[in-house]
Amino acid sequence: MNGKFSRRSFLAAAGTALVAPSLARAEDPILQLLQRENSAEWSDGFDSVSSSIKVRDFQPTLSANSVIDVEKALGLYSKIVNEGGWNKVPATKRLRLGARDNNVVALRSRLAASYDLDPALTKSDVFDTYVEAAVKNFQARHGMAVDGVIGTLTLSALNVPAQIRYRQLETNLVRLRSLSGYLGNRFVVVNVPAAEIETVDSERVHSRHTAVVGKIDRQTPILNSKIHEVNFNPFWTVPVSIIRKDLIPLMQKEPTYLKDQQIRIYAPDGRELQSNQIDWFSNEAINYRFRQDPGEHNSLGQMRINFNNPHSVYLHDTPNKNLFGKEVRFHSSGCVRVQNVREFVQWLLKDTSGWARSNIDQKIRSGERINANIAEPVPLYITYITAWGAPGGVVHFRDDVYDRDGLGPIALR
């Protein structure tokens, strides 16, 4: 045995032992694994298909029902709090499918308390497929990687007290009420704590896009505006804050950084300067303009999406697509990076003549620097929603990454 086997083979072996034990070979290594002291009992739910809550649907985070759904969630969580909240899950080894551990009983009880698991399934100490499905529901409701494994982040979220979750719902009810008016037939929502973007058309989510948003010390601002323009193959002019915080320290360590990144330096009179003309061990550099040439290497990627605001932020593509796969996506200096940006821009420009998807792709391939003015500017709401309700009684929570809920240091990441 090479030490590796799939979950499918694991469950198939369990099924074989359940249905026809006389056919299972005693020397079968997977069967031997299942029969060890710390593995699951045959009577546990490994060959069963457990039902899952539909965690996301086409209802936007901001909708006509948002306030009603949070009010319903408050009623639900008031009941949980009044009944004593939920138990803590002790720290232990990573729990996953197939494990037997005393802490699985505590895990089952905790998941049942938040309605992720059927209360009738709380007694076993085996991590079976029912528990796995419940963990996945919980992870999806909390914006985590849905892997069904109790790792550090999932354990931390499980152990946030019910009283805190109730108060988050109260805080976000106020925020959602302030956004409960008419938002437009077509609009975009950036929910910063969720690091997610929704495009909304006729009260339904058209698409959801993973986002990368501002670091804790360089926060994405909360604002309302309208998206009015898309820049294809843009230049990037480096903001003074990034020159001071990032560029100067980088040049002290890596003198070829600007050349490698195709960033040019311009004096106030328009003259192009060379990097060796600047004293990088002072703040002299903030007096100059730094502009990165267009291309795949450009920090804005191949598209920049503009909206009027006093913070000089915008939405954009990125050459660092790997960041979208991270569970924690607070890496930018305030702007918002958009996954699947071509689909996003296609939706923005769908009512603007001459900008079918084929035209968008052609302009990107050409490398031509061109602007597309959106015929009917699209409302944009950059929000801070850490708790909200959804149809079917599903309640979502996200970490209070910027500590704006006023509940103390409960951010998990």
CATH of the domain at 156: 1.10.101.10
Instruction: State percent of the chain over pLDDT 70.
Output: 85
Residue 216 in domain: yes
Residue 330 in domain: yes
Would you say 394 and 115 are in contact if contact means Cβ atoms under 8 Å apart?
Answer: no
Q: Which of 251, 267, 292 is the last residue of a domain?
A: 292
Pairing of strands 336-338, 315-316: parallel
Residue 43 in domain: no
Q: How confident is the model at residue 54 (pLDDT cuts 50, 70, 90)?
A: low
State which amino acid sits at residue 287. N
Task: Express each pLDDT in 200-221 by its tens digit.
Answer: 999 999 999 999 999 999 999 9
Question: Which string of DSSP letters, residue by residue, matches 294-308?
Answer: SSTTSTTTTEEEEE-
What is the Cα–Cα distance from 14 to 11, expressed in whole angstroms?
5
- Mean pLDDT is lowest, of 10-19, 285-294, 337-346, 355-364, for 10-19
Q: Which of 292, 308, 337 is the last residue of a domain?
A: 292
Same-domain pairing of 85 and 150: yes
Same-domain pairing of 203 and 230: yes
Active site residues: 316, 335
What is residue 46's predicted lDDT score, i.e. its pLDDT? 53
Same-domain pairing of 216 and 307: yes
Matching residue, tokens 């490398």: 367
Same-domain pairing of 286 and 322: no
Paired tokens of 355: 């900008």
* Nearest CA among 102, 107, 103 for reference residue 121: 107
What is the Cα–Cα distance from 6 to 215, expressed in whole angstroms?
38
Same-domain pairing of 224 and 327: yes
Q: How many other CB atoms are found less than 10 A from the CB of residue 192?
A: 24
State which amino acid sits at residue 406. G
Residue 376 in domain: yes
Q: How confident is the model at residue 393 (pLDDT cuts 50, 70, 90)?
A: confident
Same-domain pairing of 380 and 275: no
Residue 339 in domain: yes
Same-domain pairing of 262 and 282: yes
Residue 166 in domain: no
In the predicted structure, residue 18 carries a pLDDT above the cut 80: no
Same-domain pairing of 154 and 280: no
SS3 content of the chain, % helix, strand, coil (to 5): 35, 20, 45
What is residue 369's predicted lDDT score, i.e. its pLDDT? 93
Domain that holds residue 218: 183-235+299-384
Same-domain pairing of 338 and 375: yes
Question: Into how many domains does the chain fold?
Answer: 4
DSSP class of residue 201 equals E
pTM: 0.83
What is residue 1's predicted lDDT score, i.e. its pLDDT? 42
Selected residue with higher pLDDT from 81 and 17: 81
Same-domain pairing of 209 and 95: no
Same-domain pairing of 364 and 253: no
Residue 406 in domain: no
Residue 407 in domain: no
Same-domain pairing of 153 and 219: no
